[in-house]
Structures are given as structure tokens and as C-alpha cells.
Structure 1
Amino acid sequence: MSQFVPGRGIYTDIKTRLIPYYVSDITDGFTYRVIPAAVYIFFTNILPAMAFAQDMYDHANKSYGTNEVLLSSAMAGIIFGLFSGTPLCIVGVTGPISIFNYTVYNLMEPRGTPYFQFMCWICLWSMVLHFLVAITNSVNFMRYVTKYSCISFGLFINIVYIQKGIQILAHQFAIRDDSSGFASIVVALVMALFGLAAHFFGTKSHYVHPLFRKFVKDFGTPLSVVFFTGFIHFGGRLKYVDFARLPITRSFRPTSPDRPESWYIPFWQDISVGDVFLALPFGILLTILFYFDHNVSSLMCQSDEFPLKKPSSFHYDFMLLGITTGISGILGIPAPNGLIPQAPLHTEALCVHEHDYATGKDRVVRVVEQRLSNIIQGLLTLVLMTRPFLVVLGQIPQAVLAGLFFIMAIGALNENEVVQKLRFLFTDPLSRENMGFPRHYFLLQRKWFLIFLALQLTAFGFEFGITCTKGAIGFPGVLMFFMILAIYFPTFIPQDQMRMLDSQAADDLILKSLKFEKNE
């Protein structure tokens, strides 16, 4: 007879994943693939985070800035690289947490509640709740999460990235003149064009040698950032354009003028007992957000499309996330969690491909499963907090951030299943056979194909819609609702159709730690 064993999930993760594979996680990292993966994920992690820093800087009265986001991202990369059971999962500052942070500010500032103390209590409550969720093995519920939730959420994140890119460009007209605004649009669009061209050249074309194509794919995005940062200095008419750049502050110092030089937040001072307990419901919302966001990121970077050989860790990693959440509150920085789309992009960057000349396509033969690339990108982020590199960071035009958002979003959207289904619907039926669509699209009954697509678009619509309202803080509840709703799809969709429409998010090797038998 099964029985509840507190901490069983954490114990299983440490016993079956962390301890047996820790040495190989280091030694397996001594290979070339780690270098481009670390460089690529460093750029795709830190530059969007800078845009979120700008978002919080503008909407929360300079409470968070470049240094806070750098410190949060560096801490997350180093701690999860060194100690997590899923080092492939990239952890950092996300769009949802930036929305959460400035929404809390807008709610609490009129009450006169000290913001950093209140946020610290939110994070401390959330840390306790993370521990409770992990100890009670409640992360097990993630075994019921299917690709429906992951794909819908991935679509949401990519559309938000496009939205953020547009917002950055629109903001240029407000903080600079029209010439800067229009020039920024051109720089962002041309950068996106080149970045996406590099990606498609490296993955879809058959020109030149596969090794060169792989190099272009590995370094195309970072080189686009470097090139277009220098592009504004090329002279000509550009020298008359006043491009807005990333705002920077003193090295290793907090941004907000309302807090002391120290990173430590005296969370027991100047805050009432009532506000301490008022922080609890916010802590619950933050925990729900991280429960979904982080674990889905972990599932996506260990998706069954990647031939992974090492098992996973969910309960232990969620407890570790609780620790970083509590530390973030005490330091007065945004709490980091799993990143979409960066986490699966990290795994993709670590894939070793082999060119099959018989089919003319590259195929993935293995994934370099290690923890060095995560640690390296975390250390590189920490180095950015030193003055020389802060100055370099301050030279990046905000238009380049917009271009990077477009590259990441459009590249990921092209592979998103919802977009593929929409493309299938609007493709000439006589041409579908030669367009490379999945075979099950042709076997599905049109009725259930359309119903399931509508359900995916509905989830996306509600997720995106609530973030555009004053009720944005309720975003975690929307995520949880659709995750639970997906469990009931088999009650009204025929089983033969359901098997083709949806499936578990990862294979049995990865989900093993979520399916352990409590009576073993």
C-alpha cells in the first residue's frame, strides 16, 4: 500500500541524479560544443534581461536596474550550474517576474509600504512555500503537464518578446527625437534580418560544408549583437543620430537612490506586522508562477526531441529555487527562475549533429549533458558588473535589444507547434504533402484538429491578455488553470485523436523522478 513519505522526491533526485552523475557533469563538459553554447546562452540570457531591467526601471521608480538584473542572473547561473540536478535549465530574470515586481510596486507604493522590505517578505514567504512544495513531493503534479501547456506558454513568451521589442522601439520616440526613433527601427529590423538569416543558413540550407554552417548557427546571434553595436559608429549620417543606450550605474552598487549602498535589505525595519502577512498572498502567487514557469522550463529543456541519457531532478531543484528566491529578497534583486525560450535553446546549442548525405539533413546524435556552460555564462554575467565591462554594456543601443528580441522570438515561433498548425490550415491542400508537416496532421479528423488548436490559442489569449491589464499579478492563476484544464481533455476528445494531438512533455527517463512509487 502506498504511503506519503516527506522529502522522498528530494532524496530520490539527489540519489539518482545529483550524486551519480556529478563528476561526469564536469568531465563531459571538456568539449568544443560547450564554448558556443555558453557564449550563445550568455547573450540570449543577459540582453533580454537588460530589457526587463529597463522595464522595471521605468515602471517601479528605478527600484531595479542593470546591476540588480546582472547580480540575479549571475547568482542563478552559478548556483544552478554548480548545485542543480538539471544544469541544462537556464535560470535568470524573466518577463513575468518583471511584470510581477512592478505590479507589486504600483499596488503598494500608494499605501506607503516600504517596497524593498515588502518584496523581501514576499520572497521569504515564497521560499518557505517552495520548501513545502518540494518536501511534500507536490512537484509530482508536473507529470500531468503535457505539451499543450508547454507549447501554449512558449507561444506566449515569444509573442511577449515581440511585444517588448516593439515597446523598446516605440519608447525611442519618447526619450529621443524622431530621427533616433526611425533609425532604431531600421537597426533593429536589419539586425533581426541578419540574425534570422544566419540561423536559417545554419539549419536549413545546403550551401558549403556542414561545419561552416554550424559555426554560423552557433555564433550568428552573438556576432549580430557585436556588429550592430558597432554599426552605429560607422559614420556617415549615423553620426548625427543620438541612439539611446543601456543605462548603467556604478559597479557592484544598487541602482535605486532610495536604498543604502549595501545590498542587504533590513526586512524587519519600517514595516508593520500587517504588511508582513499581507506579503503572504503575494508569496503564494509568486510560488505558483515559479512552480509552473521553472518546471515547464525544465521539462522543455529535457523534451523528448533531445536524446538525453541522464535522468532529471525536479523536487530538489525546486527546493534550490526556493533558496535563490529567499536570497534575492534579502539582496533586493529580482528573483530568478527557469527561462523560456533560453532553457531549450541551451539544450539545442549543446546538440551534436551529424550530416546525413543520403537525406541531405542534419540529425542529432547526442547532447553534451554537463554543467560547465551554465557556470561559465553565470561567471561571464558577474564579470559584466565590473566597471570596464559596464561601460562596454552601456554602449549597446536599445535598438539592438529589440533586434535580439525579434531574432529569438521569430526563430522560436517558426518551430512552435501552434504556428505550424496555423501554417498547415492556410497551406494549399495540394501542396501540403511536400511542405514537411508532421504525418499525424494528415490523419487527424479536422474537427478535433480545429478544437485542439482553438484550445491552444485560448490558453495563449488569456495568458497574454491578463498581462496587458492591471490584473497582471493574477497571471500565475491563469497558468495553473490551463495546466489543470488540460488533464480533462481526454474526457471529451477521442483517445485515438488525443494520442496524436497531445502527449507528455518529456520521455519516461526524464519523468521518472516524478513517477516514483511511494511504496517502493
Structure 2
Amino acid sequence: MPTPRKRTRLPRSLGLGMRNDIRSRLPWYKSDWTDAWNYRVVPATALIFFANVLPGIAFSLDLIETTQQYGVSEVLISSFMAAFVFSVFGAQPLTIAGVTGPITVFNKTIYNITQNHADAPNYLHFMGWVYLWAAIIHWITAILNCNPTSGCNFLKYVTLFPCDTFGFYVAMVYLQYGIQVLTRELHAQPPNADGALVSIILALAMLGTSFLLQRLAQTPYFHRHVRRFFADYGMPISLIATSGLAYWGQFNAANPSTLPVEGAFRAANGREWLVRFWQLDARWVGIALPFGIVLWILFFFDHNVSSLMAQGSQFPLRKPPGFHWDFFLLGVTTFIAGLIGVPAPNGLIPQAPIHTASLVVMGRPVKRDKDEEGQGDGGAASGDEVAEVAVRVVEQRVSNLAQGALCLVLLTGPFLHVLSLIPKGVLAGLFWYMGADALSGNGITEKILYLIQDRHLTARTHPLRNVRQSRILLFVAVQLVGFAITFAITQTVAAIGFPVVILLMVPLRTIVVPRLPFSPEELGILDGPTASPFTMESVGGSI
């Protein structure tokens, strides 16, 4: 009698992370829409729309000059696709995805590598295969949960050390792109020296007014509702005002350059939207695989770090995260991007944490007993205003979806015309503002500023007072070396390898840094988990 054939069963752990993400997030799905009935959604939508779409359009200027393929329409459609997928189907709708500086560097580098060959492949066909390979690896990563360190569970090792280093790098990329926008104006053909000068003035005006309104919101001047208004709408107001300044008097006569746009819903160079990447020669299909692996490395770190920062420990969140499921969805958007010939979107820094911060509801701290309440009332009556604190976050899906829908609206003829009126100098100023704002809240910057502070004016309760200055300097030096290597590589022909350097910051922190002369207490102060234990529970906690 023949022995029955044994059935081979897949490990139960396969897809467990995604199933847990869906199971934990699904009960909150209805409230994700109903909770959007809150005023905080309005300024959050306006702020993140400008902060997402305009840098993305600036990146498209760089891409269209290099690749002749990715233009304004492609970037806007990519931003809409990401917003729709992650706001409707995602487990972490607070994470804003779009076209980033790192993916721009990646796409440009691939173009420079492949198009130097005599038998160069069709660029979009080759990118279609790069994106397909990357998407497949995304799906495998999201499904794998064979052990506590596989798949997205690897995020438990991601602390503030690599996040701050990568955030510092992204901020510098923004500052660099702002400078590049203006240097192109200086070397424009035909030359327009007056227009270039006006562009520089507009960039400085955009940077200055944005920071002025942001800082004004942090002063004791005016009513708190006025200060909150400046915090909510300071950047959009600055952008509109400085754009209008370009059409005033002699500034208008100088004719500064504005954003170039294509026709409504028209792809670059009039190509069709479907990319038949399967027609690519088989030799190039295999060559696309290592590029797909590098893209997976970039997105694994960039997107997940964006999600971690959007759900940072400083935000009082109550809804669970879902890293595995969202990374699976990122594979879907990456595949679609290759199919229609648009830049692949992923999580944005600093836009993702900015989005969450704009949804924070401020209020007075809750008093725990009647004695404190009586003292608080007395203080309020005598004119001593109690400082407001973050009491909750409006966790919902509408602001992400709405800003994505506005990207689609921009593709219509009338709004493309409005977009074409924005001077490039204003765009450069926006880059500077985004980069400077990211630097101001970065852990590396905070430690450097602490080192140069007057000790007599530093609060005695400051955590870094418990760390030797030499150890602070050593910790920051290691981070700056990691940043410098990453930034330097992106300026060379080896730029395609910068995602690998970024990912190596994680084992550097977990293996090398503990062997340096830090005490456990000092490392606990200098570094820590990016998100709260509640958020990190989705990936098995943090180290």
C-alpha cells in the first residue's frame, strides 16, 4: 500500500505581520474617516500640500533636464497615487509619501549609467524592470516573519542614531537643491542677470518670511489663536506673498523664470502613459535586478524611517501602526510607477512628521488632584497663563487623501497655468526653508548647539548634563562621518550605492558604537527609540 504523500505546509509566520497589522488597524478604519471632522485637518491639508507638491515639482525639473522623461505631470500623478493608496488602504495614513530627493538621485544615476552605452536600453523600459524587481522584493520582505529580525521586524534596531543621520542628510539635500535652482538661473541661456538677481531675492524673502511667521507662533505676542494661525498657514502665506512679489514693479520687469509645465494630463515628450517594459531585451532585464535591490534598500530605510518619525514618541497617538502591510503596499505603488512611467513614491522626510505635528491638538495639562486644580485656577486668575501641551493627534485619513486629490486637480489646465506663475526663486526659498526646518529639529543639530551653549544658561535638568562633553562630541562625530560619506557618494558616479551606506548606519549603531567608550547610561541619553513602545510593538519592540 503506497504511503500517503505528506503535505508541505508554509510556516505560519509567513504573512503574520501583515495579518496582525490588518487585524489591529481594521477596527479603527471607520473612525479614521469620522475623526476627520476636525478643524486641524484643514491647515494640515494646506501645509502638507505645499510642502509635498512644490519640492516634488522642483525635483521634476532636475529629472526632466537629466532623463527627458519625468516631468511635472509624472510627479503629480505619482504623488496622487501614493496619497490615494496609503490613505485609503494603508495602516499608517499619517505617513506622507511622494517623490523624494533620494529617489531623484537614484533615477538620475541610473540614467547616467545606462545611457552611456552604445546599445543603451529604453530608459523607461529599464526603469520598469528595476521597479518590478524592487516591488517583488518589497512583497517578500513584507511577508517574511520567520524570526524576530526578518522582514520589517528589522526596524526594532532602528534608533534615533541612524534616523537623525539620515534626516541630516535629507535636510542637506534640500539645501543643495535650493542652491542648484538658483545656479541654473545664473547660467540660463539666454542670460538674464536681472532675473537671476530677483530669483535670489525671492528665495531669501521666502525663507525669511516663512521662518519669521513660524517663530512668531512661538512668541508670547498676540492671542494664542493668532499664533496658531501663523503656525498653521505661515508657509503657504509666505509662498503666495513672495510669488506675488515677483509681479510687482521692477521685479516683474526683470522677468524671473517660473515653473515650466506640460499640457493637462500629458506625459513628458507626448509619450503614451503605458510603459511596455516587457519588450526590453533580456540582457537588460538581468542587469536591472541589482538596481532593484538597491532601490529596495533605499525604500526599506527611507519609507520605514518616515513612518517611524511620523509616529514619533513626541506625538500622543492612540491608534496602532502597521509597518508590514504598508511596506507591502509600497511594493504595489512601486510596480504601478514602473507600469505608467512615473517616479516611484515613498515616505517623505521631513513632510511625514510635519504632517503629524500639524494635526496635534494643544491644550492645558490635565490636573490630577483638586489641590493642583485650585492652584492652577488661582494662577490663571492672576494672569499666569499655563503653557499648552500636546493632548492628542487627529488621527485620520482625509488630510492625506485631500492633499493627493489637490495634486490631481493641479493637472487640469487652469491650475497648471497658476502653477506656471510660481517663480523658481520662490521654489528655491521653499527648499531652503524645508531643509533649515528639518535641521533645526534634528538631534545632531541639538547636540551641536548644546556643546556651544553657555553652561550657566543651560537648564540644570537638561539630559545632556549627565553626559561627558567628550562623549557627546564623539557620538556626534560618528554621525557626521556617516552623513559625510553618504553625501559625498551622492556627488560622484558611485551615487547608486548611497542607500547601502545609509542602511549600514543601523549595524554601526548596534555593533560598533557600543564598543566605543560610552557608558550604558550615556548611550541611553544620547540615543533611544524613534517611536514609543506602543508603536514599536508592531515590529517586536525596540532594542
> Structure 2, unaligned stretches of length 5 or more?
1-10, 146-150, 366-379
Structure 1 residue corresponding to 2:514, chosen from 465, 490, 497: 490
Question: What displacement does 1:53 show?
Answer: 0.4
Where does residue 226 of structure 1 map in the other structure?
240
Tell me if 1:246 matches 2:259: yes
Structure 2 residue corresponding to 1:109, chosen from 107, 111, 115: 115
Where does residue 402 of structure 2 map in the other structure?
376
Q: How many residues align?
A: 504
Where does residue 468 of structure 1 map in the other structure?
491
Task: Work out the CA distance in 2 between the residues paired with 1:411 and 1:108.
Answer: 36
Task: Work out the CA distance in 1 between the residues paired with 2:16 and 2:88.
Answer: 22
Please, what TM-score do these two structures have when normalized by structure 2?
Answer: 0.90
Question: What displacement does 1:433 show?
Answer: 3.3
Structure 1 residue corresponding to 2:276, chosen from 266, 272, 277: 266
Where does residue 423 of structure 2 map in the other structure?
397
Q: Is the 8 A contact 1:180 1:241 kept in 2?
A: yes
Q: Is the 8 A contact 1:147 1:505 kept in 2?
A: yes
Task: Work out the CA distance in 1 between the residues paired with 2:200 and 2:388.
Answer: 35
Task: Work out the CA distance in 2 between the residues paired with 1:139 and 1:294.
Answer: 11
Task: Work out the CA distance in 2 between the residues paired with 1:425 and 1:23.
Answer: 48
Structure 1 residue corresponding to 2:338, chosen from 314, 329, 334: 329
CA distances 1:319-338 after superposition (whole Å, capped 9, x unpaired):
00000000000000000000
**Matched letter for residue 479 of structure 1:** I
What pairs up with 1:87-166 in 2 under 5 angstroms?
A: 87-111=93-117, 112-137=120-145, 138-166=151-179
Question: What displacement does 1:360 show?
Answer: 5.4
Where does residue 189 of structure 1 map in the other structure?
204
Task: Work out the CA distance in 1 between the residues paired with 2:387 and 2:200.
Answer: 35
Q: Is the 8 A contact 2:533 2:541 kept in 1?
A: no
Cα 1:359–1:146 change in 2 (3 A) is farther
Where does residue 70 of structure 1 map in the other structure?
76
Task: Work out the CA distance in 2 between the residues paired with 1:15 and 1:433.
Answer: 45
Where does residue 300 of structure 1 map in the other structure?
309
**Matched letter for residue 497 of structure 1:** E
Task: Work out the CA distance in 1 between the residues paired with 2:139 and 2:438.
Answer: 33
Where does residue 475 of structure 2 map in the other structure?
452
Tell me if 1:429 matches 2:437: no
Where does residue 388 of structure 1 map in the other structure?
414
Q: Is the 8 A contact 2:303 2:346 kept in 1?
A: yes
Question: What displacement does 1:4 show?
Answer: 6.4
**How much is the aligned-residue C-alpha RMSD, in angstroms?**
1.6
CA distances 1:454-500 after superposition (whole Å, capped 9, x unpaired):
11111211121111111111011011111221112234432111111
Question: What displacement does 1:48 show?
Answer: 0.4
Tell me if 1:340 matches 2:349: yes
Question: What displacement does 1:152 show?
Answer: 1.0
**Matched letter for residue 244 of structure 2:** G
Where does residue 64 of structure 2 map in the other structure?
57
Task: Work out the CA distance in 2 between the residues paired with 1:289 and 1:411.
Answer: 23
Structure 1 residue corresponding to 2:45, chosen from 38, 41, 51: 38
Task: Work out the CA distance in 1 between the residues paired with 2:142 and 2:492.
Answer: 32
User: In structure 2, the residue corresponding to 1:419 is in which secondary structure?
Assistant: helix
Where does residue 537 of structure 2 map in the other structure?
512
Task: Work out the CA distance in 1 between the residues paired with 2:530 and 2:203.
Answer: 34
Question: What displacement does 1:516 show?
Answer: 7.7
Q: Is the 8 A contact 2:132 2:335 kept in 1?
A: yes
CA distances 1:177-221 after superposition (whole Å, capped 9, x unpaired):
11111111111101111110111111x200011111001110110
Where does residue 365 of structure 1 map in the other structure?
391
**Matched letter for residue 96 of structure 2:** I
> Structure 1, unaligned stretches of length 5 or more?
none
Task: Work out the CA distance in 1 between the residues paired with 2:13 and 2:455.
Answer: 55
Cα 1:369–1:451 change in 2 (3 A) is same
**Matched letter for residue 268 of structure 2:** T
Q: Is the 8 A contact 1:299 1:505 kept in 2?
A: yes
Q: Is the 8 A contact 2:451 2:469 kept in 1?
A: no
**Matched letter for residue 200 of structure 2:** I
Q: Is the 8 A contact 1:90 1:339 kept in 2?
A: yes
**Matched letter for residue 29 of structure 1:** A
**Matched letter for residue 322 of structure 2:** S
CA distances 1:210-255 after superposition (whole Å, capped 9, x unpaired):
11100111011011111111111122x1232121111101111111
CA distances 1:328-386 after superposition (whole Å, capped 9, x unpaired):
00000000000000000000000011257757533111110011100000100111011
Structure 2 residue corresponding to 1:409, chosen from 423, 431, 435: 435
Where does residue 217 of structure 1 map in the other structure?
231
Q: Is the 8 A contact 2:41 2:399 kept in 1?
A: yes
Percent identity between the two aligned chains: 41
Q: Is the 8 A contact 1:206 1:360 kept in 2?
A: no
CA distances 1:148-172 after superposition (whole Å, capped 9, x unpaired):
1111111111111111111111111
Task: Work out the CA distance in 2 between the residues paired with 1:255 and 1:114.
Answer: 15
Question: What displacement does 1:31 show?
Answer: 0.6
Cα 1:77–1:32 change in 2 (3 A) is same
Where does residue 481 of structure 1 map in the other structure?
504
**Matched letter for residue 448 of structure 2:** L
Compare 3-12 and 36-45 and name the one that shifted more: 3-12
Question: What displacement does 1:110 show?
Answer: 2.1
Cα 1:4–1:151 change in 2 (3 A) is farther
Q: Is the 8 A contact 1:56 1:64 kept in 2?
A: yes
User: In structure 1, the residue corresponding to 2:276 is in which secondary structure?
Assistant: coil
**Matched letter for residue 100 of structure 2:** T
Task: Work out the CA distance in 2 between the residues paired with 1:246 and 1:375.
Answer: 25
CA distances 1:77-103 after superposition (whole Å, capped 9, x unpaired):
111111100000000000010111111
Where does residue 320 of structure 2 map in the other structure?
311
Task: Work out the CA distance in 2 between the residues paired with 1:398 and 1:13.
Answer: 42
Task: Work out the CA distance in 2 between the residues paired with 1:281 and 1:188.
Answer: 39
Tell me if 1:349 matches 2:349: no
What pairs up with 1:190-205 in 2 under 5 angstroms?
A: 190-202=205-217, 204-205=218-219
CA distances 1:47-95 after superposition (whole Å, capped 9, x unpaired):
00011001111122x2111000000001111111111000000000000
